[in-house]
Amino acid sequence: MKECLQEEVLQSYLDGELHGRRIEQVTVHLASCLTCSDLARQLEQENSVLAAALAPEFESAVPSERLRQRIDAAIGSARIDAAAGNAAPSNVHNWLSSLSDLFRFRPQRAFAYASLMVIIGFGVIMAMMRWQTSPTLPPTSVAVTVPPASNPAPTTTPLSNNPPRATFPSNGTLSSVPKYRPQRSKPVIAPALSGQNESAANHVKLLPGERSYLQTIAQLDSTINSEKNRMKPEVQAEYQRNLAFVDRTLAVARTAAKSNPNDPDATEFMFSAYQSKVDLLNTVAEARVIDK
């Protein structure tokens, strides 16, 4: 290398940006070339002067102090997580960092926190006053769901959509009372209470055997209500009147049965009242079949 080094190469050499064989070539040349060695010495002096002049600038943080703290906190938490072997999602870190930010008070935020504390304190005081004045409620009673086999079951008449005029007994005559019962095409007794009735029944303490009646009544009631538009006005008025009769009677009988749990007669009256309601609903439901 007989020619002198270019200034860019020398600058790169001084900045430590050259690698391997190139560093050796430049070092050998500087040792044998006075011109290049003088130039290199000048560049070093200039670099030292610039470094001294810009030292305050280099030592000051380029980001703001707040940002630097946040970065340091994030790096620190990342290191902690890495050390614990538990890599949490980044959104958790963000949430934690935002949460920690909430506790950095400024005047506006401090005022908001104070207002919130006052409101919460007022609510707690009101709740305590109300709790002290309210009576203690007994625990909710549990329904009896399984009626014993000895209890009377509601008797219903099967319904049908078929036109009744086409039905005859098998032998063409009636041996006793003519059993003019259209074929059953839809069930009368539901397997269980549904919806609101079920929940209502669960909140009322039922006597043994009541549930089967309630199931039958619910099913018949839904059958009648589904075709209420077909009912003649006079029949509907009479139906409502008698239904009110029966419901009133049933309420009284049920009260008596509950207040006299050891009186079989009272229980029998209650079931008789239930059966009256079933009979009423069944009669109306049968009439609806005819209207079809």
Partner 1 sequence: MKFKVVIISFLLLLVPAGLAYADGHGGKSGTQKIERSIATAPTVAVSLCVDSGDVTVRGWDKNEVFARSSEVGRIELKRADVGNQSGAATKVLVWLADKNEGEEKSGCHDFGDVELMVPRGASLYLQTGDGTIDVGDVASIFARSETGDISIQKASRSVEAVSFSGEISVENSTGRMSMKSVSGVVNAANLRANDQNDCFQASTISGDIQLDEVDHQLVSVKTANGKIDVSGPLAHQGQYTFNTTSGDISLSLPANASFRLNARVARDRDVTSDFPLTLTIEDPVPVINHTPAPRPLHEPAPEPAPTPKEPVVVVVGPQVKEIKVKPVIVKNLYSLRRINAVHGSGDALITIASFSGTIHLKDSGNQPQ
List of residues contacting partner 1 (CB under 8 A): 163-169, 172-174, 176-178, 180, 232, 234-235, 238-239, 241-242, 245-246, 249, 252-253, 255-256, 259-260, 263, 265-266, 268-269, 272-273, 276, 279-280, 283-284, 286-287, 290-292
Taking the C-alpha atoms of 220, 225, 228 and 233 in order, what is their torsion angle to the nearest 10 degrees? Answer: 80
Rounded to a whole number of angstroms, the minimum distance from the CB of residue 218 to partner 1 is 19
Task: Return the number of the residue (164 or 187) whose C-beta is nearest partner 1.
Answer: 164
Task: Return the number of the residue (10 or 273) whose C-beta is nearest partner 1.
Answer: 273
Helices (H), 106-165: 107-133
Asked whether 157 and 189 are in contact (CB, 8 A), the reply is: no
Phi first, then psi: give them for residue 265, nearest 5 degrees: -65, -40
Rounded to a whole number of angstroms, the minimum distance from the CB of residue 223 to partner 1 is 16
Rounded to a whole number of angstroms, the minimum distance from the CB of residue 255 to partner 1 is 7
Rounded to a whole number of angstroms, the minimum distance from the CB of residue 207 to partner 1 is 15
Cα–Cα distance for residue pair 9/19, rounded to 1 Å? 12
Cα–Cα distance for residue pair 127/121, rounded to 1 Å? 10
Task: Return the number of the residue (106 or 179) whose C-beta is nearest partner 1.
Answer: 179
Rounded to a whole number of angstroms, the minimum distance from the CB of residue 169 to partner 1 is 7
Q: Residue with structure tokens 């050796």?
A: 24
Asked whether 189 and 215 are in contact (CB, 8 A), the reply is: yes
In angstroms, the Cα distances linking 240 to 226, 236, 244, 246, 252 are 15, 6, 6, 10, 18
Rounded to a whole number of angstroms, the minimum distance from the CB of residue 210 to partner 1 is 17
Task: Return the number of the residue (39 or 231) whose C-beta is nearest partner 1.
Answer: 231
- DSSP string covering 175-189: SSS----PPP-S-SS
Rounded to a whole number of angstroms, the minimum distance from the CB of residue 243 to partner 1 is 9
In angstroms, the Cα distances linking 13 to 4, 18, 26, 46, 49 are 14, 6, 8, 14, 18
Task: Return the number of the residue (133 or 176) whose C-beta is nearest partner 1.
Answer: 176
Task: Return the number of the residue (136 or 173) whose C-beta is nearest partner 1.
Answer: 173
Rounded to a whole number of angstroms, the minimum distance from the CB of residue 149 to partner 1 is 23
Cα–Cα distance for residue pair 84/78, rounded to 1 Å? 10
Asked whether 154 and 276 are in contact (CB, 8 A), the reply is: no
Task: Return the number of the residue (193 or 285) whose C-beta is nearest partner 1.
Answer: 285
Helical (H) or strand (E) element with 62: none
Task: Return the number of the residue (13 or 271) whose C-beta is nearest partner 1.
Answer: 271
